[in-house]
Structure 1
Amino acid sequence: MAAWNAKTINERAEAAFQARKAMQPYIERALQYAMPWRHPRAKSGAIFEGLFDSSGLTGAHKFPGRVQMDVTPPSQRWYQLEAGPLVGEEHRERVNRQLDLATTVSHRILDASGFHKASKESYADLGIGTGALLALEGDDNEIMRWHAVPPWQLGIEEGPSGRIDNVYWKRTYPAWQLPRLWKEARWPEAIARKVREESRDPVMMLQASYYDVEIAAWRYAVVCCESGGSGEIVAEFINRTNPWNVFRWWTTPDSPWGVGPLMLTLPDIMTANKAVEMILKAAAYALAPPLMVAHDGVVNPDTLRVAPHSLIRVARTGGPMGSSIMPLEMNGRVDLAQLALTDVRQSIAQHTLSRQLPPESASVRSPTEIVERMRDFAFDTGSAFGSLNYEFVPNVVARVLDIADRKKIPGMDFEELKIDQLVLQVKITGPLARSQSLADVESVAHYLEILNAFLGREGMMAVANVEELHRLQSLLGAPNWINRPAADREKMLQALGEAAASGAPMPEGDPAGQPSLQLVA
């Protein structure tokens, strides 16, 4: 297909905005109880009115931190570029060593580009259901710029593969910011005059990113909507990778929008809020109950003043007809409300991944209980994190490699590092993925222990392929340079075998008695 004109972009964007309206009420209700300061109609100074319980606020605060530490932990290696399944075994180790440089450089780019701050902000939106990150090429001072964009400001369209291919973002910018955002833009005369004057007047802009099948690339068009009609395209860029990374927590086949844990647990959040409100009302009535005043012509409710040490003129204080003023008895079971509140708070904590282990001062918990909690967490988050690993992490890495190639960084050739998961793959090595890998390592170690116990060391080495145990390095998340090259390993194993056969002492790796590390450039 050819490049879209301004009219087509506006029509597609308007259709995407209309589709968003079906999801907008649910998004706003979740924001009202979880992040009220981000509600589109939040009033200044009154955002917490009607909120009595902080369970939703706490879940919204802890959820992005938990996702970040499990998927993209700062200053850690949470992915590894490796040879894919189509690469032969004789070439795999050499290719992996060569890819170590690209892995290290791309991690450093992410750490220095503000990715972790922007990604954590988008994880907060992911709690509602959908997160959105915009990755753009930076200037000479920074390689990349990351922007976390509220998804309820976007219009999105799914492609044939189920991923988000087309994204539309409409918002205003002060006129003085426009030349800094798009240096190559050709502005209409009215807008150009505001730019020259460095005016602070808002200018409505529509940014559209869409996939062009003919060139197999993403077009990024910037439309100025102040020109009347459909506006005017003032700048257009072509990207080999999608500048937008829109990812969902859980999706259904009939909608491109995701559903997150804060939206799924919204009934519990609203129930907890109402329960606390009722408990507070019951406590208020218990401390200051309403007064019943007898209609005896003596006590005037309009002039009655109830205060410490005050004197109240009454007709009687007791007797057959009772006191002139009596408190109204309020019957309520606050303990039942507390019981329901505890249950819903536990459900909220479980859904928002904020359930913690018992404190040290609590009663002793058995190891079985701790293990079961960890299994429940893995079961609850398995499918969601699998979706993140499919449509989030590979796109982030591909975008970094693309921009690094544009910046002419040595060793970062995008054509050679094109990720297809067949020849070149992205292996997830974050804490959550590493826990599964550690389980595989534990199974291997347990199997070797059983062989050694039944067959002895010689029998174990005869049955198990111990020469391939160096592959455990990737499961443990260690860098590729930690293993010796294949030729060196064969020489060392041969020397060890000859030494064992002749009864000579085993050869040492270094004359000084310390293991030598061979760093691979």
Structure 2
Amino acid sequence: MSTTARQGRPPGAAPGLDPEALLARHRRALARRRPWEATWKECYDLALPGRATDATPTLYDGTAADAAEQLAASLLAELTPPWTRWFGFTPGRGTANGKADPAGKEAAMLEHAAEALHGELARSNFTVEMHQCFLDLVVAGTACLAVEEAAPGEPSALRFAAVPLAEVALEEGPEHRLDTVFRTSSLTLAEILGRFGGVALPRGLAEAPGDEPRRHRVVEAVIPSTRGYDYAAILAADGEAPVVLAEGRFATSPFIAFRWMKAPGETYGRSPVMKALPDIRTANKVVELVLKNASIAVTGIWQADDDGVLNPANIRLVPGAIIPKAVGSSGLTPLAAPGRFDVSQLVLDDLRARIRHALLADRLGPVQGARMTATEVLERSAEMVRILGATFGRLQAELLQPLLARCLAVLRRRGIVPPVALDGQAAVLVMRSPIAQAQARADAQGVLMWLEVVRALGPDAAHTADAAAASRWLARLLGVPADLVISADEAAALAADPLAP
């Protein structure tokens, strides 16, 4: 049985999904995806070249490819930076039993869970696969990440895989989330048996020794249900009845699909490369024409008298060449070009600037020139939040929250973290990524300004501000570890008995 099915199937739980119905639903999902495929192919050809696709056009301008890679790297650094803990858990409106947490035990337990999860992510392949997903997101507008439980003995209990967009077909559920995922894989018999264990396969699939291994289509389906997510892996071999390789049930989906942005009524997302596609096409064509014009300028176009003596096949236009000519013949004469292409550089500079602006390379890229002041840094952060606020909000809802919930479910099953439910009651997810901290710093600036104004108004006004409560609020806002902040009860006990330990 696969790792995916093995980790999510409780003993005796089998959803009993109909393989024929699942394959028919998969075909309908593929038909709804087909109108997007031509646009995706063009986006990949121009912004992420190198894929083995048919009729791949020659790429002459690399502005889009460079800007797309920079945007993907910026998303990784702003949302899920590899070297810092970009998330945290805080107690919700009450603990699991509905009581308050005055001693901070719940906060300490959640801090321990966050540290354990961060350690598992750091030891896994999360950063590598997440960057690949961000490349798909920037180029095609939709990406999919598989989160599985690693085999015992691995450095991390988590294993991630960036699923290529060509392998998935997605459907929106009643809540307009991409929670129905079909993944198509091409596997050999050895890979099928190694992944799904000892399953009964049709005899027609047997291979003779020495033959080239054939690949067979395997469709994995994850469909939401009232009790979580139903999972089924189906072998859809040609000429054979579909065979269920594995089935099970998950509390959280192992496939996390997310989008850059979407229009009403659409399932798949739209990408910044799609927005800049007309300029990318034009810039590529302009550079192609510039290169052709340059080749003409270097080699020239020549004319010669056809006097029966000149043989053009024997002429080589190389430096130092001596070309014989008949007496009285003008020989080779260069032909003047009818026009000049000097305006091409102006057009190309404008196109490249628009491409970099559409892919946010001029906003998220490295700062050129002199170092910025603190005010300029804050202004740039505020501008970035304003431009990408909608996109980051969608990524938090479709990527970060399901990702952490899925990881916690795997770690709870392994016994690495205590039971933590991000339901708003027992625990609340707090984002500590750089983009979230930019907004937190803006909120903190407002409170600090108010405290300064209250202090300047005199003693009567200063008594209206609770400095201790403001300090604890700022600590929560800026992600200060709970071990460094004393609770209100601890502060009261310390004030009553300063010598107490």
Length-normalised TM-score, structure 1: 0.83
2:167 aligned residue (153, 170, 175):
153
SS at match of 2:184: strand
Q: Residue 515 of structure 1 aligns with which residue?
A: none
| CA drift at 1:191 | 7.7
Shift of 1:285: 2.1
Residue aligning to 1:501: none
Q: Deviations over 1:45-79 (max 9, x none)?
A: xx6x6211111221232222111111111131111
User: Given the alignment of the two structures, is residue 91 of structure 1 paired with residue 105 of structure 2, yes or no?
Assistant: no
Does 1 or 2 have the higher relative contact order (CA < 8 Å, sep 6+)? 2
What residue is the counterpart of 2:465 in the other structure? 464
Residues 351/508 of structure 1: CA separation in 2 closer, same or farther (3 Å cut):
farther
Is the Cα–Cα contact under 8 Å of residues 452 and 459 in structure 1 kept in the other structure? Answer: no
Pair 1:211 & 2:190 matched: no
Give the counterpart of 1:425 among 408, 423, 428: 428
Counterpart residue number, 2:179: 165
Q: Is the 8 A contact 1:299 1:315 kept in 2?
A: no
Contact 2:235/2:245 (CA < 8 Å) preserved in 1? Answer: yes
Q: Within 2, Cα distance between the matches of 1:326 and 1:139?
A: 75
Deviation (angstroms), 1:85: 4.6
Query: Is contact 1:109-1:400 (8 Å) kept?
Result: no
The count of residues paired between Structure 1 and Structure 2 equals 478
- Determine the C-alpha separation between the residues in 1 that align with 2:266 and 2:412: 35
Assess, with a 3 A threshold, how the Cα gap between structure 1 residues 494 and 450 changes in structure 2: closer, same or farther. farther
- 243-252 or 145-154: bigger deviation: 145-154
Judged with a 3 Å threshold, the aligned counterparts in structure 2 of structure 1 residues 145 and 488 are, in CA distance, closer, same or farther, namely: same
Counterpart residue number, 1:518:
none
Are the aligned partners of 2:172 and 2:178 in contact in 1 as well (CA < 8 Å)? yes
Among residues 109, 117, 122, which one is paired with 2:133 in the alignment? 122
For the 8 Å contact 2:47–2:68, the answer to whether it is kept is yes
- Distance in 2 (CA, whole Å) between partners of 1:377 and 1:340 is 28
Q: What secondary structure is seen at the aligned counterpart in 2 of 1:463?
A: coil
How far apart, in 1, do the equivalents of 2:108 and 2:495 lie? 21
Cα deviation for residue 131 of structure 1 reads: 0.8
Residue 133 of structure 1: aligned partner:
145
Q: Counterpart of 1:24?
A: 37
Matched, 1:403 2:410: yes
Which structure 1 segments of 5+ residues have no match? 318-322, 496-506, 511-521
Aligned with 2:368 (options 310, 334, 359) = 359
- The letter of the residue matching 2:191 is Q
Tell me the equivalent position of 2:11. Answer: none
CA contact (8 A) 1:6 1:230 kept: no
Contact 1:172–1:204 at 8 Å: present in 2 too? yes
What do you get for the CA RMSD once the two structures are aligned?
3.1
Q: What's the CA shift string for 1:362-407, capped at 9, x where partnerless?
A: 7x98988776654443322111111000111111111111111221
Q: Distance in 2 between matches of 1:269 and 1:135?
A: 34
Given that 1:28 and 1:39 are in contact with CA atoms closer than 8 Å, whether structure 2 keeps it comes out as no
* 1:3-152 paired onto structure 2 within 5 Å: 3-41=16-54, 50-85=58-93, 90-91=100-101, 93-127=104-138, 128-142=140-154, 143-152=157-166
1:263 aligns with 2:270: no
Residues 405 and 227 of structure 1, relative CA distance in 2, 3 Å threshold: farther
Rounded to whole Å, the distance in 1 between the matches of 2:119 and 2:496 is 39
Identity score, percent: 26
Q: 1:335 to 1:349 in 2, by over 3 A?
A: same
Query: 1:229, CA displacement in angstroms?
Result: 4.7
Please give the per-residue CA displacement for 1:310-350, whole angstroms capped at 9, x wherever unaligned: 13305558xxxxx5533222255544221222222222222
Matching residue within 220, 225, 232 for 2:231:
220
Q: What's the offset of the Cα at 1:437? A: 0.2
* Matching residue of 1:486: 488
Contact 2:91–2:427 (8 Å) recurs in 1: yes
Separation in structure 2 between the aligned mates of residue 181 and residue 332 of structure 1, nearest angstrom: 64
Between 189-198 and 19-28, report the one with greater CA deviation.
Answer: 189-198
Per the alignment, do residues 326 and 365 of structure 1 end up closer, same or farther by CA in structure 2, a change over 3 Å counting?
farther
Partner of 2:215: 202
In structure 1, what is the equivalent of residue 356 of structure 2? 349
Mapped contact 1:296–1:315 kept (Cα < 8 A): no
Query: Deviations along 1:135-164, whole A, 9 cap, x unmatched?
Result: 112211231221111122211111011111
Q: Contact 1:249–1:388 at 8 Å: present in 2 too? A: yes
| Unpaired stretches in structure 2, ≥5 consecutive residues | 1-13
Q: Deviations over 1:490-509 (max 9, x none)?
A: 234567xxxxxxxxxxx799
Q: Secondary structure at the match of 1:421?
A: coil
Distance change >3 Å, CA 366–CA 345, structure 1 → 2: farther
Give the letter for the 1:145 counterpart. Answer: R
Deviates most, 278-287 or 438-447: 278-287
Three-state SS of the structure 1 residue aligned to 2:101 is: helix
* Deviations 1:71-122, CA, capped at 9 Å, x for gaps: 1111311111122356789537553232111111111122222111111111
Determine if contact 2:79/2:433 at 8 Å carries over to the other structure: yes
- The answer as to whether partners of 2:113 and 2:418 remain within 8 angstroms in 1 is yes
- The secondary structure found in structure 2 opposite 1:420 is coil
Distance 1:332 1:102, change over 3 A: farther
Quick one: which of 435, 443, 447 aligns to 2:446?
Answer: 443
